[in-house]
Amino acid sequence: MNSLKSCVAIMCVCMLFVSSALADTGPSPADFAKDSEFSSAKISPDGKHLAIIIRKDDKRRLAIVKADTLEPVGGADFGGKQQVGAFWWANNERIVMQILQSEPWSEDPSYYGELYAINLDGKLGEIIFGYRGGEQQVGTKLKTKEAVRGFADVVNLLPNDEDHILITVKPWSMAGLSQKTLHKLNINTGDLSSVVASTPLGTFYVVSTDEGEPVVAVGIDENYKRIIYSYNNGQYNDISDQGFGGGFEAIGVDEQGENLIYIDDSETNTTALYRMNLKSGKRALIYNNPKVDITGLALDSTDSVPLAIALDDGYPSYVLLDSASSERAIYEHLFSVFKGYVVSITSADDANEQFVIYAHNEIVPGQFYLYNAKTKKLRLLFTNKKELPSTSLSQSFPFSFAASDGAQIPAYITFPSHIPETQNVPLVVLVHGGPESRDYWRFNSEVQMLASRGYAVLRVNFRGSTGYGKKHQFAVRKNWGTLAQQDIIEATQYVINSGGIQTDKVCIMGSSFGGYSAVMSATIAPDLFTCVVASAGVYDLEQLKEEGNVSEYLLYGPAFLNIQLGSDPAQLKAQSPVTHVAKLKAPLLLAHGGDDYQVPIAHAKTLMTELDRYSKDYQWFTIDRAGHSFYEEESQIKYFETVAAFLDKHLK
């Protein structure tokens, strides 16, 4: 069997072979944990200005600069614990954004439904929607008409209306039972129109025309079933039973609201792209890849003509669709320029002349460019994580192997670039969360931190992972502790047998479902793993069904958990890590946020009780204000440093 490490060395012709003793002179764990400074950039409709989200000191701020010179002209910084969330250019002069609020007891900022608008020069800033919308605001000329205790979601920017955007409003309710109402919101005064339409359930999202007319509403009911309504003649019509699948996603409509572009999996194992006439119900298949789901989709400026599809079968790839649109050539040129990158267009001006491009790959953390479609020239705007030199980063390579039952399991392997190919290295198996999520060929700070320490990193898209069709994804349901762990363990053994690994230096690590898997796999194969790192994990499946934001706050939470886990108490117990602690041999680093509402810290404490009962070796790490992840930079640094020290102790 050929060594995976040899394959990596052959493909990575630029690999830098230096002494492993020099590893300690490279970036520290703290360097990898630092925030990306630039997280978003969008161009104004007239192409004259850029709005940029800059994260510094754990706060997201908005900066407005001239597109040609990057000269600052304005921005928004709320001060205190408030920060900027998602944002939109509503017209050439005014920007609308979400207000996020950080609470004293929690690191994770929360969205309480408020929208704020400001001019590009930083003047006339107003809360235009939300529970504080009725307050007189310092330095303003107006008082909005009323405060609304609800959540606003932007549906359409209404490009033909300079003064309004279309939003849905959902009253504050943790039960998810209340309906959303559709309104036009004045971005200057905060005036809210009367109800345009109401959604059938609070969980629905709405797709509308650019004139503000709803076209479809899509949601999930209390039975975790996809519900689809079309809207015409002032009322909704349930079309859920007209041959749609659970993977249905409405993407866009034409200007007349007659043809819907959507993704679905009703007739295929993997998701496919369709066009449907909403009046006749006639559908046409546009594209399907039999191996992988659609990752992303590029539409033209009318949101009705598909131009390109993004796929992730190992490496990212792009499929250009047949189209008479002149905008297709823009994507064709960008894909040729950014070969070996994940590339996306974040925004374009109204003339479709200037485009903001975001590009990255596994060793390029992320760069923003301004692209001129007329001259076909690119200008680099901003680069993230400049403190990480390219020579300190390691390439990741996709591969697949046949599981013991014959199924093909995709995975990624990363060998540290500074270790000679002839030298065996310790291995860290890094398990993704979900389980219905996946790993991608992308820049990953955690992977790069581990590789910089001299460890190979294995990531497995085990059965249960998304992206490879329904059969692959749904196979893990009611099999969290069996089939998913089988794939992870067999992938680990496959990589070890392929060579390049110190067979007695293997750690398994993960967060959320990955934390569950780290402990569960280590109890199933106790002699395989030298150590375990489990963060924010689920350790008692019966406990998960009783507490946490999934079971308590989501309308479909109980049904979702029954689908994922089943309802047999014996099965839940058998697939819970706390049941098998006695089998655990490897020392454990157990990390959990004290303010984790998704998986409450009670899970970690239940596991700790069992670890103490059997006198198992473990180390405890917590940050009281942290949620389901370590959001603040200081917390992430402490976590990375703790992980690095723990792995160095047990793998070196």
Q: What is the pLDDT of residue 7?
A: 53
Q: Which domains does the chain have, with CATH numbers?
A: 4-32+388-651 (3.40.50.1820)
Average pLDDT over residues 601-617: 92
pLDDT digits (tens, 9 = 90+) for 156-183: 999 999 999 999 998 886 555 567 888 9
Q: What is the pLDDT of residue 140?
A: 41
Is the confidence at residue 640, as pLDDT, over 70?
Answer: yes
Compute the 3-state secondary structure of the chain and give helix, strand, coil in percent, each to the nearest 5.
Answer: 20, 35, 45
pLDDT digits (tens, 9 = 90+) for 93-118: 999 999 988 775 566 778 888 999 99
Q: How far is CA 465 from CA 193, 200, 474, 482, 563, in A?
A: 43, 31, 8, 14, 15
Q: What is the pLDDT of residue 6?
A: 57
Residue 405 token pair? 């039952």
Q: What is the pLDDT of residue 361?
A: 92
Q: What is the pLDDT of residue 1?
A: 35
Is the confidence at residue 21, as pLDDT, over 70?
Answer: no
Q: What is the pLDDT of residue 205?
A: 87
What is the distance between the alpha carbons of residues 403 and 11, in angstroms, rounded to a whole number?
Answer: 25
pLDDT digits (tens, 9 = 90+) for 116-155: 999 999 999 999 998 887 654 444 443 445 778 888 999 9
**pTM listed for this prediction:** 0.90
Residue 303, number of CB atoms within 10 A of its CB: 17
pLDDT digits (tens, 9 = 90+) for 309-337: 999 999 999 999 988 888 899 999 999 99
Which of 79 and 472 is assigned the larger pLDDT? 472
Nearest alpha-carbon partner for 231 in 197, 270, 182, 203 = 197
What is the distance between the alpha carbons of residues 311 and 308, in angstroms, rounded to a whole number?
Answer: 10
Average pLDDT over residues 278-285: 90
- State percent of the chain over pLDDT 70: 91
Q: What is the pLDDT of residue 19?
A: 31
Q: What angle do CA 23, 28, 31 make, to 5 degrees?
A: 135
Q: What is the pLDDT of residue 566?
A: 87
Average pLDDT over residues 79-100: 91
Confidence band for 471, pLDDT divided at 50, 70 and 90: very high
What is the distance between the alpha carbons of residues 392 and 390, in angstroms, rounded to a whole number?
Answer: 5
Contact between residue 633 and residue 55 where contact means Cβ atoms under 8 Å apart: no
Q: Where are the beta strands (DSSP E) in 420-560?
A: 425-431, 456-460, 501-511, 531-535
Q: Where are the beta strands (DSSP E) in 102-223?
A: 110-119, 126-129, 150-156, 164-171, 181-186, 197-198, 205-208, 214-220
pLDDT digits (tens, 9 = 90+) for 244-263: 998 999 998 887 778 899 99
- What is the side-by-side order of every strand in the sheet holding 315-320? 294-299, 306-313, 315-320
What is the distance between the alpha carbons of residues 408 and 494, in angstroms, rounded to a whole number?
Answer: 12
Confidence band for 642, pLDDT divided at 50, 70 and 90: very high
SS (H, E, C) 585-598: CCCEEEEEECCCCC
- State percent of the chain over pLDDT 90: 58
Is the confidence at residue 10, as pLDDT, over 50?
Answer: no
Average pLDDT over residues 502-510: 96
Looking at every residue in the chain, the average pLDDT score rounds to 87
What is the distance between the alpha carbons of residues 489 and 521, in angstroms, rounded to a whole number?
Answer: 7
